[in-house]
Structure formats: C-alpha cells, structure tokens
Amino acid sequence: MNKQNGDSIYKTPEANLLEEEELPTSLLKSNLSYTKLLLLFWLSLLYLLATLPLVAISFMSGVVPDNESYRLATDIVSLIDNLLYLYLLYMFKLLLNYRLACHSVDNYIYAAIILSLIMSVISYIMPEEVESLGFSTLGFFVLMVPLGVVNVIYGIKLLKLQSYFSYLRLYAWSTIVAGIFLASVVLFLFAIPAGMVSSFAMAMMFHATAKELRRHYAGEITTTR
C-alpha cells in the first residue's frame, strides 16, 4: 500500500500542468505556416542588413562618390529595400490578425504602406528633384507628416494591445519614435535607425510564432503516436 502511494507521489504527471496557450484556429488555418514565418524572419534580417549601408550613406552624403552609376545602384537598392519592408509590414498585419485577432490597426498599416509606396516611387523616379528641392520635394516632405502621424497612432494602439509577444512593446515604441521623427520632417533621417529597431522586433515576433507552430505540430505528432 505504501509502495503504491509512493509511486503515485513521484510518478510523472501524464498531462503538462503548465499548458501553453492554445494557438487560435485562425492562425492554424491561415497561410502563415512554420516555413513561411521562418522565411519572413530571415527576410526581416536581410532587410536590416541591406538597410545598414543605406543609413551610413544617408549620414555621409558628402563622403560617398557622386556619380550617376553609383546613384542609380543606390536608388535601386533603396527601392528594393523599401518594397521588401512594405511586404514585411503587410505580412505582420496578417500575423496580428491571425495570432492576436487584432484588426484595429489594419487601416493604419494600409495607410502607411500607401504613403511609403508613393514616397518611394517619387524618390526613385525623380531623385534629382528631391535632392535639389524641386517641386516634387514639396510633395515628398508633405507626405512625411501624415506618414509620421499614422506611425504614432499605430504604435499607440499597439501599446494598448494585450499580447504574449515580449517584443511588441519595443516594436510599438520604436514605431512611435520613428513617427515623431518623420512628422518633424527636419529630423526624418533619425527615423531610419528607429525603424530598424522596429524591424528587428518584428523579425523576433515572426520567429516566436514560428516556434509556437513547431511546438504545436510536434505536440500533435506525439499525441497521435
């Protein structure tokens, strides 16, 4: 009898006493698979890696070579980098939708994507006008103000969101800071490093969700055995 009691005390529990939060069905049925989330994580890191030299060039405009071929190459890399960021931002919107059932920031993300896309096109098509303070420059800088405001509101709304993401607050605050720099116009260059911080936080949230999915499917396989 005592032996049976002893066995029952020290026996490993059949069920995990600290069960992890169940993943929502919306995420499990979405196209955000483990492989895709891992790809988004690496693309986010690639974006950061590509942005570093662009940041250096922005702050050292008088040091870098000033020729047409170099400018064209820089403009193309910058355009591709911006388009990659907009794609990642859209995929992050889907992550918020499917993982956290958050749709309150959808319109702000769409607005940020549209405004950023217009600014990227202006900068790519008319780079000389933007640099020489031509007519298109006015439109370019005018768009910075609403883009900055959108980022600030977007970040504030994310701060109010209850989430398991440990990096969400970092993402929200860095987005707010980037928005303030953009809205100020004169300090817009400082929005780039702030945006890089938010991109890093975004990458970590893609990675965290990928690990969740891996654990979920690993648990399913173990259960069916």
Please answer whether residues 213 and 193 qualify as being in contact, where contact means their C-beta atoms are separated by less than 8 angstroms.
Answer: no
| Rounded-to-integer distance, Cα 91 and Cα 95, Å | 6
pLDDT the model gives residue 137: 63
Question: Are the CB atoms for 106 and 75 separated by under 8 Å?
Answer: no
- Indicate the burial class of 14 (C-beta count within 10 angstroms; 0-12, 13-18, 19 or more): exposed
Residue 94: the pLDDT is 97
Residues of the chain with pLDDT under 50: 3, 5-19, 129-130, 225
CB contact set of 134 (below 8 Å; sequence gap of 6+): 126, 128
Q: How far is CA 128 from CA 56, 136, 200, in A?
A: 20, 10, 31
What's the pLDDT at 16?
38
List the chain domain ranges: 32-224
* pLDDT the model gives residue 169: 94
So what's the pLDDT on residue 201? 97
- C-alpha distance from residue 107 to each of 86, 99, 132 (Å): 14, 18, 33
Nearest to 123, CA basis, from 66, 186, 78:
78
pTM: 0.80
Per the CB < 8 A criterion, the answer to whether 136 and 130 are in contact is yes
In the block, residue with structure tokens 């955000």? 32
pLDDT at 9: 42
Place of tokens 């055995």: 225
Distance separating alpha carbons of residues 46 and 56, to the nearest angstrom: 16
Angle at which helix 34-59 crosses helix 191-224, to 10 degrees, equals 170
Angle between helices 191-224 and 68-100 (to 10 degrees): 40
pLDDT in tens, 109-143: 999 999 999 888 877 776 554 455 555 566 678 88
| Rounded-to-integer distance, Cα 54 and Cα 112, Å | 21
Which pLDDT score, from 0 to 100, does residue 114 have? 96
Q: Given this model, what pLDDT does residue 105 score?
A: 96
| pLDDT tens sequence across 62-76 | 555 556 666 666 777
Of 167, 211, 207, 222, which is closest to residue 23 (Cα–Cα)?
211
